[in-house]
Amino acid sequence: MSDPAIDKPAGDLMAGHTVRRYDQELAKLRAIILQMGERVIDQTQAAVAALIEGDESQTYRVLDREPLIDYLSLDADEEVFRVIARRQPTAVDLRIVLALSKIAGEVERAGDKAVRIAREALELRQQEQDGELLVEPLRAAFQALDDRACCMFERSVHAVTGFDVNQALTIFENEPALYAAAHDLRQLLGESDSDGLVPRQAIALFHCAQALKRIGNHASNIAEQVIYVALGQDVRYRNREILIETLRHRGY
C-alpha cells in the first residue's frame, strides 16, 4: 500500500542557492549540528561505559563536557536567527532553516539523555562501593541498546548533511530493533531479584534504559525533519511501514 500524500522531491537541495553567502550560512549551521551530534555520541558511549564498567572518571568527563553541547546549541540558535534576519527566507529556504532549528533542538535534548545516564551511573556507584553492579547479561543488554541508539543517532546527523532520504529511511527501518533491544533490557531488569539488585537500583537502571531509547527516538525525529526538507512533506504522524514502502518503491 502506498501513501499518495508523498510528493516528488522539490529539486536538488544540494545544488546550491543563487545567493552564495546564504549557502555558506546554511553550511555553517549544518556544521554546528554535525559537531553537536558527534559530541552527543561520544557522551552517550562514555556514559554507558561508566555505567557498565563503574568508571567514575568517565561520568565526571561526561558531566564536565555537558556545557560544550549547550554552547553549540546556543550558536545554532544564533545562526538561525541571523539567517532569518538577513535573508528573510521563504518557501523551501524557510523550510530548511526551520528544520535545521528543530534538528538542533533534538540533538541538544539527546545530549541531555547522555548526561542523565552519567548522573544515574555516578549515584549508583557512590551508593555501591563493593563488587560489580551489573551481571553479565545486563551489561550485554545495555551495550546492545547503546549500540542501536548511537548507530541510529549517528546516521540521522549524517543524513542532515545532504538531506539524505535513503539514510532517513534506514533509521526508520532500525526502529523495531531499537524497541526490541529496549524490551529485552526491561525484561532483564524486571527479573532483577535474581541479579541481586534492590528496587532503587533497578529503577535507576530503568531510567538509563529509557534515556537510551529516547536517544534513538531523537534520531527518528531528526530523520523526519530530513524528509520534510527533502520532499516537502511532514511525515511525523504517518504510518512508518507504509511510508517506508512508498519511498522505497520510488527508489530511495
Q: Which set of grid coordinates corresponds to residue 180?
A: 526490541
Condensed to tens digits (0 to 9), the pLDDT of residues 43-58 reads 999 999 999 988 889 9
Domains of the chain: which residue ranges? Answer: 14-250
CA distance 159 to 214: 19
Q: Which of 44-53, 75-84, 129-138 has the lowest mean pLDDT?
A: 129-138
Mean pLDDT score of the chain: 90
3-state secondary structure the chain: CCCCCCCCCCCCHHHCCCCHHHHHHHHHHHHHHHHHHHHHHHHHHHHHHHHHHCCHHHHHHHHHHHHHHHHHHHHHHHHHHHHHHHHCCCHHHHHHHHHHHHHHHHHHHHHHHHHHHHHHHHHHHHHCCCCCCCCHHHHHHHHHHHHHHHHHHHHHHHHHHHCCHHHHHHHHHHHHHHHHHHHHHHHHHHCHHHHCCCHHHHHHHHHHHHHHHHHHHHHHHHHHHHHHHHHCCCCCCCCHHHHHHHHHHCCC
User: What CATH number should be reported for the domain whose range is 14-250?
Assistant: 1.20.58.220
Using a 10 angstrom Cβ sphere, with 0-12 exposed, 13-18 middle and 19 or more buried, the burial of residue 90 is: exposed
Q: What pLDDT sits at residue 200? A: 86
Q: How far from 187 is each of 180, 181, 192, 202, CA to CA, in Å? A: 10, 10, 9, 11
CA distance 241 to 173: 9
**Overall pTM surpassing 0.75 (yes/no):** yes
Condensed to tens digits (0 to 9), the pLDDT of residues 107-122 reads 999 999 999 999 999 9
Residue type, 227: I
Q: Is residue 147 over pLDDT 70?
A: yes
